[in-house]
Structure 1
Amino acid sequence: MHRIIAAVLAAGACASSLQAQTDRIVAPAPVLTLAEALNRAGASSPFQDAAAAGIRAAEAQRRVAGLRPNPSIVGEAENVAGTGIYQGLRSSETTLGLALPLELGGKRGARIAVAEAQIGRAGLQAEIARADLRLRVTQTYNAAAAAQRRVTIAEEQVGIAAEVLRAARIRVQAGRASPLEEQRADVARISAEEALERTRRSAEAASGNLARLLGMPVGQLDRSWFDAVPSAGTMRPMATSGTLSVVAARADLDTASAQVRLARSQQVPDLTVSASARRLEQTNDVAAVFGVSIPLNVFNNGRASIAVAEAQREQSDAQQRVALLDAEQDVATAQADAENAATTARNAAGPALAAATEAARIARIGYREGKFGQLDLLDAERTLLETRTAAIDALAAHHDAHARLERLTSAAPLLKDDQR
């Protein structure tokens, strides 16, 4: 008796050990949340690197704009290789000096103003890149999460189809149904398995896209985030004057205005002053030479450049108004899409799904007991599948519209003029 008890205890301990090892092996993989995906993408995205490089380029351009013109070394040799007393170098006069251009009309300040406006625009472009990356990651994450939910439903449909086939076989073997019911149930099972294969392939592609975007393998995604049904709410108007697209158009207008100032400064001719030392070969004397050079604005007086800059400024001003109009329209459309998708999701994932689930449950019980026909069961199962699919589509559409709305209403950082 003691040996039997010891054997039972040993077997129990062995089973417990095997169970513990199995639990360790099949431990669920960590769930990747949307916040973690956004942080990961922001740390390794080439889009961010491109935006940062644009800021560095604009800052370097600002340093270039602040540089003054380089001086020139002037060298001349006169009265050489002539005739008479000017043969050879006997009467040569050699001049060596330095010429320095002097910018007039505020050209350097105008260049700096253009460069500073471009720095502000580059900073906005970096913010736009971050907002675009957030939208892209959210949409890709949403697509992958929806694909994983579709796989879950497809797997459950395969199980349901197998159960219907088993029930049909029992009915056929008992002589309570025609063999046609078994064949019809088998066709439904094959179709469910085929749909599962397609759904898994689509989910692998969606997860692969997210993995390539994040630069890391992707496992399970946050199901609670995707399945969260949005609560009912009224649409509230959202201000668009401070959004990224509108402020970026305003920054383009500031740059164009700075270009007009630069074009006008180009109308003022620059001076070039020079100071040289001249050596006379015959007397071996040295004399100072001073000079001033002023260009004549005869063929190009700068008016054409000013006309181009002013036309570009007018174009930027019109584009700013267009950007504001587009932002208002896009925000209104995204709000409507989000509200419509939320309404559909609440209905499909709420009362409609509950009713379809209960109808399918009753149809399964009734079919097993011979109270309902197979066509009634298949119709109930098809309605349940369509309702669950519609709920997933509505949730995905809501998350997508909400992500687009967040992108459209992303607030821009204050420009320098606004900060003053």
Structure 2
Amino acid sequence: MPLRLSRTLIHGIFTVSLPLTTLAQDLPLTLREAVAHAQERAPTLRGADAAARAADAGVEVAGLRPNPTLSIEAENVLGTGRYSGFGGADRTVSLAVPLELGGKRQARINVAQAERAAAGIGLTGARADLTQRVTEAFVRLAAAQRRQDIAHSALEWAERAAHAAQERVRTGKASPIEEQRAQVLKLGADTRFGKAVRALALAHADLTQLTGDAALAISASWFDTVALVESAPSGQPSLSVVAAQAQLAIANARVDAARRDRMPDVTITAGTRRYGDSPDKAAVLSLSIPLPLFNSGSGALVRAKAQADQANAEGESAAIEAQQALAHAVADVADARAVAQTAAGPALTAAQEAARIARLGYAEGKFPQLEMIEAERSLAETREAALEALTDYHLAQVRLARLQGSIQPIYKD
């Protein structure tokens, strides 16, 4: 019996499915999704991918042999007498085939393969750079969201404090100066909140430019924790060193190609010739070889060797710089981690407890307003310091991951 769905049931299915689709679109954006979206649309990756495809084609081109040359000649034509037309012409048809000697073709292939390897490394470097940019933008957006929350909380407290001060002045429990102080604090908190809102909008726009995703919320639960990130093996060279080694391999391959280019190539020609009106034919054979009288290829070889020396020096320099940068990055992560653990741990807990006691004491009339203001100021500074410490820690982790050649998000939601 065939299964039939009523129109009402079909409408109900679509009605239920639409909110699910909307819900999927409204889910917070994770770091992994942000990196994936950025990699799909980044012009730098498209350019690096095009360079890699061009290098692949270059290997194919390098392996092609020289084309033969077909020649058709007519001699003794357009003259006088019996040679006035083309009837008495000697006609020759020949095919010339150049023969590359000395392994030139393989040398070209080696150069193209080295260039292809360098293009692949360039693509990996572009991915690593993009991952770093997106992760840094993501971290700054997460920090901006928390900074706005802190500013909003401070503004709410300032409004309550201003109202409390107003009531105390109205009932004669405090002087008008106390109300003025509260109003000043409220104005300052309102200014800081407006600044935080604008900074959040700018950080959101920065991430949207990279990912093309205008999601209003992100998921960054890892931001509030100070955890060690799994790093790459210590013996693995950085991408900058690998890229320099690839350039050195290209230079060495070009030296070998320049050395082999000094050997002249041979061209073999074979054909047939017909003499005038006679039915007689004869074979035509020739062997030609260029004489290296003016250009022996020594200048090109000297240039290639100099470029190889330059690439070797740049590789050594890149290795030194990468080692120094990695050492500094590891130290920066350790320092930022220690500061973040302290600022977001005991220091923040103590400041929160001091502010809580000051608020209760002020509400009960046991503490003066200045002590409460000092406690709140200390709490705001401690929160800001904790947020800055966490931001610095995560950015240091991002820089370290980039130096280690990571192309994947360092945090997983």
Query: How would you bin the TM-score normalised by the shorter chain?
Result: 0.7 to 0.9
* 8 Å Cα contact 1:242/1:411 also seen in 2: no
Q: In structure 2, what residue type is equivalent to 1:144?
A: L
* 8 Å Cα contact 1:99/1:275 also seen in 2: yes
Matches within 5 A, 1:64-75: 64-75=61-72
- Hey, what's the Cα distance between the residues in 1 that align with 2:147 and 2:35? 23
2:89 aligned residue (55, 74, 92): 92
1:249 aligns with 2:249: no
1:159 aligned residue (122, 144, 156): 156
* 8 Å Cα contact 2:70/2:96 also seen in 1: yes
Matches within 5 A, 1:182-221: 182-221=179-218
Deviation at 1:106, TM superposition (A): 0.7
1:303 aligns with 2:298: yes
Instruction: Please list the CA deviations of residues 31-65 of structure 1 after superposition, one character each: whole Å capped at 9, or x if unmatched.
Output: 32223323333344333333322221111101000
Instruction: Please list the CA deviations of residues 290-321 of structure 1 after superposition, one character each: whole Å capped at 9, or x if unmatched.
Output: 11221111111001111111111111111111
* 8 Å Cα contact 2:26/2:215 also seen in 1: no
Task: Return closer, same or farther for 1:26/1:239 CA change in 2, 3 Å cut-off.
Answer: closer
Task: Return closer, same or farther for 1:29/1:70 CA change in 2, 3 Å cut-off.
Answer: closer
Which piece of structure 1 moves more, 97-106 or 236-245?
236-245
- Hey, what's the Cα distance between the residues in 1 that align with 2:405 and 2:134? 15
Which piece of structure 1 moves more, 125-134 or 337-346?
125-134
* 8 Å Cα contact 1:240/1:246 also seen in 2: no
Instruction: Please list the CA deviations of residues 252-278 of structure 1 after superposition, one character each: whole Å capped at 9, or x if unmatched.
Output: 111111111110111011111112222
Q: In structure 2, what residue type is equivalent to 1:142?
A: V
Instruction: Name the SS of the counterpart of 2:284 in structure 1.
Output: strand
2:137 corresponds in structure 1 to 140
Instruction: Please list the CA deviations of residues 319-377 of structure 1 after superposition, one character each: whole Å capped at 9, or x if unmatched.
Output: 11111111111111111111111111111111111121122222222222333333322
Deviation at 1:222, TM superposition (A): 2.7
- Unaligned residue ranges in structure 2 (runs of 5+): 1-21, 408-413
2:128 aligned residue (128, 131, 142): 131
Instruction: Please list the CA deviations of residues 232-266 of structure 1 after superposition, one character each: whole Å capped at 9, or x if unmatched.
Output: x9xx9973553322222112111111111110111
* 8 Å Cα contact 1:348/1:391 also seen in 2: yes
Matches within 5 A, 1:26-37: 30-37=27-34
Question: How much is the aligned-residue C-alpha RMSD, in angstroms?
Answer: 2.5
Q: In structure 2, what residue type is equivalent to 1:286?
A: K
- Hey, what's the Cα distance between the residues in 1 that align with 2:351 and 2:116? 58
Task: Return closer, same or farther for 1:62/1:205 CA change in 2, 3 Å cut-off.
Answer: same
2:273 aligned residue (275, 278, 292): 278
- Unaligned residue ranges in structure 1 (runs of 5+): 1-24, 413-420
- Hey, what's the Cα distance between the residues in 2 that align with 1:131 and 1:331? 15
* 8 Å Cα contact 2:89/2:276 also seen in 1: yes
1:52 aligned residue (49, 55, 61): 49
- Hey, what's the Cα distance between the residues in 1 that align with 2:53 and 2:182? 66
Deviation at 1:90, TM superposition (A): 5.2
Task: Return closer, same or farther for 1:63/1:356 CA change in 2, 3 Å cut-off.
Answer: same
1:222 aligned residue (219, 222, 232): 219
1:374 corresponds in structure 2 to 369
Q: In structure 1, what residue type is equivalent to 2:376?
A: E
Instruction: Name the SS of the counterpart of 1:68 in structure 2.
Output: coil
* 8 Å Cα contact 2:232/2:404 also seen in 1: no
* 8 Å Cα contact 2:59/2:113 also seen in 1: yes
* 8 Å Cα contact 1:243/1:411 also seen in 2: no
* 8 Å Cα contact 1:37/1:137 also seen in 2: yes
- Hey, what's the Cα distance between the residues in 2 that align with 1:344 and 1:218? 32
TM score, norm. by length of structure 1: 0.85
Which piece of structure 1 moves more, 28-37 or 70-79?
28-37
- Hey, what's the Cα distance between the residues in 1 that align with 2:169 and 2:272? 119
Task: Return closer, same or farther for 1:159/1:248 CA change in 2, 3 Å cut-off.
Answer: same
Which piece of structure 1 moves more, 50-59 or 293-302?
50-59
* 8 Å Cα contact 1:241/1:247 also seen in 2: no
Task: Return closer, same or farther for 1:320/1:27 CA change in 2, 3 Å cut-off.
Answer: closer
Task: Return closer, same or farther for 1:103/1:42 CA change in 2, 3 Å cut-off.
Answer: same
Task: Return closer, same or farther for 1:93/1:27 CA change in 2, 3 Å cut-off.
Answer: closer
Deviation at 1:140, TM superposition (A): 0.9
* 8 Å Cα contact 2:52/2:119 also seen in 1: yes
Deviation at 1:121, TM superposition (A): 1.5
1:292 corresponds in structure 2 to 287
Deviation at 1:191, TM superposition (A): 1.9
Deviation at 1:29, TM superposition (A): 5.2
Larger RCO of the pair (alpha carbons < 8 Å, separation 6+): 2
Identity of aligned residues (%): 46
Instruction: Name the SS of the counterpart of 1:176 in structure 2.
Output: coil
Instruction: Please list the CA deviations of residues 210-229 of structure 1 after superposition, one character each: whole Å capped at 9, or x if unmatched.
Output: 12222212232234211113
Deviation at 1:84, TM superposition (A): 5.5
* 8 Å Cα contact 2:68/2:98 also seen in 1: yes
* 8 Å Cα contact 1:363/1:376 also seen in 2: yes
1:168 aligns with 2:168: no
* 8 Å Cα contact 1:260/1:313 also seen in 2: yes
